[in-house]
Structure 1
Amino acid sequence: MAVPGKRLIKIFSSSTTSMGSEEDYKVYCQLCDRSGPRLPAHGFCINCSEHLCQTCCTVHRQQTFSRHHVLLDKSSMPQSLSPGISNQSDSFKKLCPKHGTELIMFYCHDHKALLCSVCVSNEHTAASCKLNYIPDISGQSINSKEYQDVLKEINDMTERCNKSLKDMKKINDESNQSLADALADINKFRTKINQRLDKMEKQVKEAAKVIQKDNSKNLTQVETVCGDVSKSLKLASNAIKHFNISKQPSNLFVELKQTEQMIKDFGQSVARLSEYDVREYTFEPNEAILNLLHKEGFMGTLKGRAPSFKSRQCPHLDKICIKTSQDKNPCWITGMTLLTPDLLIIADFSDNMAIKMVDIYRKSVLSQQCFDSRPRDVTSVSHNELAVTLPDIQTIQFIYVSRNNLTKNQLLSTLKVDGNCWGIGSYKDKLVVSFKSLLRPAKVQILLINGTVLHTIEDENIFKNPVYVTSCDTCIYVSDSKMKTVTKLNWRGEVKGKYVCTDKPCGVAMTEDGTVFVGYRTSNVVGEISGDCTEGQVVLKNIQSPQAVYWSADTCTMYTSTLDFTEERNYISKSSNFYNRDKLIFHF
């Protein structure tokens, strides 16, 4: 078919014989090549699967039949003639999971997504995303660092699965053995009483069988998860090795990307394996039962207790370095919040003056937003928006999260507040902020996200130095380092409880059941406070001067930063497998 506008190009190029040489251009206009001189490609049409010169691109956008086609520019277009002409050595036939009959041909760097031509046309246009044709960039996958890293992550995940399964089997065996011992004690005790206890004995045995059934169910679930993960990882490992050995870079590239996502997904599943609450049991007979046979009573108790020290899972401690090449000073992390189970947002109160986004699983800083003032604390106000306190300029800064990048929200950039704002928490459209200053009375304010103050608690009998806050739908907890208290408030600003600490409390975090964690920087521990502020105990020891703390309910993990003025300030500590629920007691 003749293309309008091409004759002029032929005239201008007819005097240059080199324009017709097949060696002149690596990628040339396929449309012109059919009937005229060979011209350099200026773009690529996704719909037609053809490279086009600059004039053909212009005409393509104007003609009725092609004006809605998707064109890639020179920087994004395939650097070989087309998918059909590519000289790739491997059989590149991976189908798009979303558009089953289309081949995966492109990679979006912004969304880390493998795409077919339909994906590019509908969702990942060249105007909005950084795209590459996979055969152009896949050659570097063979024996690459990414190849080595994925294999290492497969091995690490497999080892974690094996260890989790081994630990669960051991704990399960001890729990079942303890139940067997308890049942034996029941039988000994049963010989001292008459047949009137038959019913009670049956009840306690049935309860033990229920617990054993739960133990078996838990073990089966762990075996299933670990088996599925190990099987999938083995298949992925074999495929990766095969594509690498057979020099199939495109298939290797796709397999690596899919395996990376699979490892990330499996990481959350494996992390949850430690959530099962498996206990050992003993039977504690009621010595007074012989005197109570004529009354309705209970035979004894099955009391759940944590496994013995040798078999109990110790807290898994890990560290994440959060110092970046942009940082000119040691870090000082004074605030933390999780945006997703794998994305931790931290406030660096040092002269680095930055908010950072940390990938938990890859242990790396993905994005860093710097300020003209030091950020003290941070909270998430939506799935993609953060609020940051800047006490030195009495401002709350809103940060927008897009494609793993932190940017200042231009629609609601800043919120001026009345005082030096420190700790911050949120729930829906409300914020709770603590204020402290040498020149003004301390206070806590509850306000709307637009700045409207709803309640102010300014009473020196309640707060003298409020530093951190945490909140949920029903209540707020505030730590005060001078009063040595953690105070519970409702959203009307009314005091509903107060826990008196033995040490100066710092960061506070709340679990899904209302329990509060608090960092004690002098005694180097993290404590647990009941939701009604009546009881407290130490749950983590040897945590170096804990400053900010944050609890992840999804992975049962505690994140802490340190106040210690050493190199430790450049790390976030990650503690898991340490939180035990209250003991279970069954009466019969």
Structure 2
Amino acid sequence: MAARLKHNIEEDYLTCSICFNIFTDPRQLSCGHSYCIQCLVEYLKSTTSSKSCPTCRQAMNCPKSTEIQTWIQTLPQDLLLIGIINAVKKHDPDQDHDYDETINGGKTLQEKTVCDKHIKCFEYFCSDHQDILCSECVAELHKKCVSSPISELQLKALSELNEIHSNVVRNLKDMSEIEQKGILNLVSYQNKKEEKLFILSSLRKQFEKFSSLILTDIKAKETSLNWPEVNMKSVLKAIRIHRSHLEQFRDDIVTTTREINIAKKQKDVLEIHKAADTLLNKAEINYSCFRDYKISFESNDLLISSISKVKEVANIEISSDVDIDYHADETLSVIEPETDFMMYRKREFSVNQETHLYRSLSGICLLDNSLIIIDQYNNNAMKMTLDGECVGNCSLTEPYQVCKSGNTGIAITCWDKNVIFILDTEPILSIKKVVKTNKHYLGISGAGKDRYLVTSPDSSIDVISTSGEILFSIDSRKQSNIFSSLFRKSASVPVKAMLKDETVIMCDSIKKTLVCMDFVGRIFWQRKIPGISNFTCGPEEIYCTLSCSNRVLRLTFDGNIADNTFLNIRHPWAIDTQGQTIVITEDSPSEKYHIIKLE
């Protein structure tokens, strides 16, 4: 053990950082670092740049008129290092015989207490040479050294050790109290959690039992509605079979009537009499199954009313004195509609908030397994997974709105230039080409293969190719009644338009109106929606975001509002949908977006 301690001391404290050997005549620089005198000479000779300490790079105050070797000789010796080196050499465990080993109860080392030279007890400690001395040694050899009585040093060391021990004991006590409190808090939380889980489990079982009874009742009523239909179809089938037999029998009678052979005719007549009795008896039909059925149905209004008012099964809140930041929040809720009943899961995410403090998420596009978010303020397009992870980004100039382009591509409009960016999303998000257009377009959506439906601040709506060529434009004369005030005073506000079957649905952001028209500008319907920010078309309905009132509306394709309390989201802005998934960004300066899964 002593040998290992000696080795550690030599390696950590007594080794020159230039030659990596035990110091030889160590000299101390003004910065406090020490090196072998010869190592300093060789180091300074090899250094052509400014003279600085090899460890901390502090400049050495070496006079230009003085030779290096002469100047190094004037540096002070590091007496502390020299004393430690001498003490280590003097007490080398391989040569030291001043230690006794006792085997009773283990091994102990007893340090010498008497000076071999003067035969006196050690009473002093030399700080310069780090050695214990007797009074004669101090008077003869260590007059200029700093020496202190061993008794005083022991008292001082004991006092310091006691203070450290008290601090350690106090910290251990505090840690034990904190640990105990943590255990109690954990047990308390687990007990509360078990109580709430028991309640939720009970609710789930009640709901399953209740829903099972409801479904059984509905199935029984569906079966009872089916039996008259099945009975009538069965009778009709029997009638068709008997009718075909009677028609065949009728043909046989006609043939017998025309028979010339009297004997054969009499024989056939007897057989016809016999067959007629059988067929006519079987052809007797009970027509009571074809009576005029009346179906009366009265729904359970109390049950339907209760279901329509259910927003969530329960509210759960986990609070603490310490603020906790959740990056994603998933809730299972029930939409409270006017016409139907629907479950949905909503997850809230934030884009990378460490890069920028301000965001303007102006566009969003839902792909098969990911989504694209446009950050107009920071000139960036980001590819995100459906779990909120950013897997790619691309820097663009003032990007604004985005839509799908082909199988794996996207198209992005520019806020201040007549260009459209075409990007690939697989395997990484990258610019494929930049298309220059004749007009300045802001709104963009897909219009079939290799075509886009784009809107311009001059109130025009065009269908363009992927090369920017205008394929078709809505007649401005026909649409004057729609866009008479559009962008009259605010040419920077965009219009978004989307194709649905053979119509164009357009958002007038000045009049706050949703308009449906054909390709010559004739209006089919228009709906005033105060505060509308954006919209998108799903497979069966239209979704509109209302940033000012924190709502998302559902509209039918004939312009009627299906549900004005569909979703509640803080300042919803850009929106897109695909299948049963809806994605929505929040209005700037928010960095949040939402993924809603309808169930």
Q: TM-score, normalised by structure 2?
A: 0.44
Q: Using CA pairs under 8 Å that are at least 6 residues apart, name the structure with larger relative contact order, 1 or 2.
A: 1
Structure of greater Rg? 2
